[in-house]
Amino acid sequence: MSLKIDEQGFYGEFGGAYIPEMLYPNVEELKESYLKIIHSDEFQKEFQALLKDYVGRPTPLYLAERLSEHYSAEIWLKREDLCHTGAHKVNNTIGQILLAERLGKKRIIAETGAGQHGVATATACALKGLECIVYMGEKDIARQAPNVSRMRMLGAEVRPAMSGSRTLKDATNEAIRDWINNPTDTHYIIGSVVGPHPYPDLVARLQAVISEEIKAQLDGNPTHIMACVGGGSNAIGAFYHFLDDEDVELIGLEAAGHGINTDKSAATMALGTPGVLHASMTLVMQTLDGQVTEPHSVSAGLDYPGVGPWHAHLHKEGRVRYESVTDQEALDAVLLLSRKEGIIPALETAHAFAHLEKMDLKPTDRIVINLSGRGDKDLSTYIEFLDV
């Protein structure tokens, strides 16, 4: 079976647009125009210029010598943490703000978990002078406080999502409801490869620049590429141009929380079953009755009971291997990377590094890890859990 998206917006059995009729005009408009717009010379010219001069691309591919020595393998870091605003999320928001502008939208909404996507959206809106409203779970507002302040400084309004687990899933529900209630002037900048078609494809295309650069920066293919998976946007970005290269092993790392055998986990690949969440058929953590369960991860950006439909398909087809990492393993990896390389990673990102501990590494292995974001936003968690 093909690894790619089909005409109806499905990746095998996953994907599609399970949207209420109220969203049809907006989603249809996007579906009909996104490829035309993002492939146009005029869009590409502005997009590429902003990626270079505003975001700071290409980001370096850095050979981490002390980490390589520690694990006796060659380890390269794709430095998305050096993007403006501190994570890969901005690749997507810059692309989508240019799209929104061309669709004539005046009002931007977004959901955010860790706050990185919220900050990246608020940044793009400030850049273009557009109104910005970010929905964020009440629990995440507390644990990612610096990002809330950043969004406000950038002129965005942060609205707390008070329902359910008061995390990313609920923020996404509120953003979808906002879009239903504002059917003509609003564009929804989704933060990951989730949601109804065409969002997973749109966001993947905008993040694909990560693997495009890795290809150009590395002499020959790596043996492995690893990335953390919340919704899956940094992972798809890092895998995109390597999907057909069978010599490259692709590994996605999910948040196991307290462990996949506990009721406090966010490892959707391990624990999910097929179902519809946020208007997409994908793997979902749910009860036998089809009620979505409340996930847990110490990392707000991975604390999500679903996963992008493309990942669900890549998992089913066996092209990408998905493993999980506990809260504690991720926290340990934060300290190791900080002390070996002088880089404090985001908690989400640390999940990818933690997997190194469990791999049977050889000196001939050449591993690229997508360093999706920096850890400033997580300082309060680090102070609480790490002896610093």
Residues of the shown chain interacting with ligand PLP in the complex, contacts defined by CB under 6 A: 87, 113-114, 116-117, 192, 228-235, 301-302, 346, 348-349, 372-373
Restricting to residues 219-238, name those near another protein by CB under 8 A: none
Name the residue nearer to ligand PLP (CB basis): 59 or 349: 349
Task: State which residue, 42 or 185, has the beta carbon closest to another protein.
Answer: 185
Annotate 339-358 with DSSP letters as a single string: HHHS--B-HHHHHHHHGGGG
Is 299 labeled as catalytic in the residue annotation? no
Of 226, 236, 277, 352, the one binding another protein (CB under 8 A) is 277
Amino acid at 94: I
Applying the rule CB under 8 A, the residues between 149 and 208 that interact with another protein are 163-164, 169, 173, 176-177, 180-181, 183-184
Per DSSP, which regions of 179-305 are E strands?
A: 186-188, 224-228, 249-257, 273-277, 280-284
Residue (104 or 274) nearer to another protein, CB: 274
Select which of 74, 111, 254, 323 is catalytic: 111
Which of 22, 35, 142, 216 is in the footprint of another protein by CB under 8 A? 22
Looking at beta carbons only, is 74 or 299 nearer to ligand PLP?
299
**Sequence-separated (6 or more) residues with CB below 8 Å from residue 214:** 61, 78, 222, 225, 238, 241, 242, 368
Q: Minimum CB separation from another protein for residue 339, in Å?
A: 41
Min. distance of Cβ 377 from ligand PLP in angstroms?
A: 8
Instruction: Give me the helices (H) in the chain, please.
Output: 24-39, 41-50, 65-71, 89-102, 116-128, 138-143, 145-153, 168-181, 199-207, 209-217, 233-239, 268-271, 309-316, 327-341, 347-354, 379-385
Catalytic residue check, 89:
yes
Asked if 133 contacts 156 with a C-beta cutoff of 8 angstroms, the reply is: yes
Give the integer Cα–Cα distance in Å for 373 and 378. 11
Axis crossing angle, helix 41-50 with helix 89-102, rounded to the nearest 10: 140
Q: How far is the CB of 155 from ligand PLP (least distance, A)?
A: 21
- If one asks whether residue 25 binds another protein (CB under 8 A), the answer comes out as yes
CA–CA dist 144, 22 (Å, integer): 33
285 part of the interface to another protein, by CB under 8 A = no
The residue annotated as part of the active site, out of 31, 89, 169, 340, is 89
In a 10 Å sphere around its CB, with 0-12 CB exposed, 13-18 middle and 19+ buried, how is residue 388 labelled?
exposed
Residue 17 interaction partner, one of ligand PLP, another protein, none, beta carbon < 5-8 Å per kind: another protein
CB of 140 to ligand PLP, least distance (A): 9
Q: How far is the CB of 180 from another protein (least distance, A)?
A: 5
At which residue do the structure tokens 């430095």 appear?
A: 79
24 touches another protein by CB under 8 A: yes
d(CA 71, CA 74): 8
Tally Cβ neighbours within 10 Å of residue 335: 15
CB-nearer residue toward another protein: 13 or 212: 13
Binder to another protein among 11, 14, 15, 19 (CB under 8 A)? 19
Q: Which helix (H) or strand (E) holds 323?
A: strand 320-326
Task: Decide: is 8 part of the binding site for another protein (CB under 8 A).
Answer: yes
Total residues binding another protein (CB under 8 A): 34
Should residue 347 be labelled a site residue for another protein when binding is judged by CB under 8 A?
no
Residue 15 bridge partners (DSSP): 10, 281
Check residue 312 for interaction with another protein (CB under 8 A): no
- Give the nearer residue to another protein in terms of CB position, either 169 or 205: 169
Which residues fall within 8 angstroms of residue 240, CB to CB, at 6 or more apart? Answer: 204, 207, 208, 210, 211, 212
- Any catalytic annotation for residue 33? no
Establish if 288 lies at the interface with another protein (CB under 8 A).
yes
Q: Which residues bind another protein (CB under 8 A)?
A: 8, 16-22, 24-25, 163-164, 169, 173, 176-177, 180-181, 183-184, 273-279, 284, 286, 288-292
Q: Which are the catalytic amino acids? A: 89, 111, 372
